[in-house]
Structures are given as C-alpha cells and as structure tokens.
Amino acid sequence: MASILLLNGPNLNLLGRREPEVYGSDTLADIERRCKDEAGRLGHQLICRQSNSEGGMVDWLQQQAPSAAYLVINPGAYGHTSIALRDALLGVALPFVEVHLSNVHAREEFRRSSMLTDIAVGCISGLGAQGYLLALQFIAEQLRGGGSDGP
C-alpha cells in the first residue's frame, strides 16, 4: 500500500457554492471522500490537504513528500503564478498529476498556462471531479509498474 497525497489550492474550499456553473456542485469534502474511497479500492492510502496559502502548500509538500509515492494536485490559481510551488515540487522530486476541474484552455487567457504542467507526469483538465478519480487510477497503474511514466 502506497501513500498518495492530494493537495488542493486556494478557493477550492469553496467548491459547491463558488461558481457551480464552472466548478460543479460537488464540495471539496465530497471530492475528498470519493477520492479516499477510490484510493482504498485501488489498495492505497490517500492523505488530503487544502490550503489558501502558497506557503502552506509548500510547507505541507516538504513535510509529506518523503513518505509518499505520488501526488495529485489541483493548484488552483497558484498553478498560473507560483514559482515557489514549482520549486517545491522540483525540490521534493515527487511525481505528480496536475488536475483542474474546469477546462482551463477554454477560459481566460491567463488561465491557459501553468507553471507546473511541464514538470508533471500528466495533466487532467475540464473533466470536473472525475479528473481526480482518473488521476488516482493512472497513479495506481504506475505504482503497479504498468504503462508509461509519461513523456
């Protein structure tokens, strides 16, 4: 059994009431519960965290990464702006899948680039809460030794 981290960035604590036409009606608690169930079904443990603070995200990654096998991250707005988050991910050398609930490529221009995508194993965008579950399924396959390690 491997430990997988799930890190959600700023404003994702408002899911379910924040722009449901963009982000859906699921709350973060709903998503985390389904993800924990899916991780368990796949034979792994999921450790979840949400932070509105860039420093809080960096601190948690540095603390948790040594005992984890993989990370699923929805960096929220920090994905578009945070060199500190990028550096933390490079520093801990933990493979990760970047997830976005909305299709960032169909939104405002500033959302179409990410500071993280080029260092991620993969990126899932626009599939709503299902994207998290797909990321976990991909990770479980990687941990079993199947499939490619990415590009």
Tokens 């809080």 — which residue?
Answer: 56
Torsions phi, psi for 145 (to 5 deg): 90, 10
User: At CB < 8 A and 24+ separation, what contacts does 111-120 make?
Assistant: 111/80, 113/80, 114/75, 114/79, 114/80, 115/79, 115/80, 115/81, 115/82, 115/83, 115/85, 115/86, 116/73, 116/75, 116/79, 116/85, 116/86, 116/89, 119/86, 119/89, 119/90, 120/96, 120/150
Instruction: State yes or no: is 23 an active-site residue.
Output: yes
Instruction: State yes or no: is 105 an active-site residue.
Output: no
| From 23, 70, 78, 132, the catalytic residue | 23
| From 44, 70, 78, 100, the catalytic residue | 100
**Token pair belonging to 61:** 């990654």
The residues carrying an active-site annotation are: 23, 100
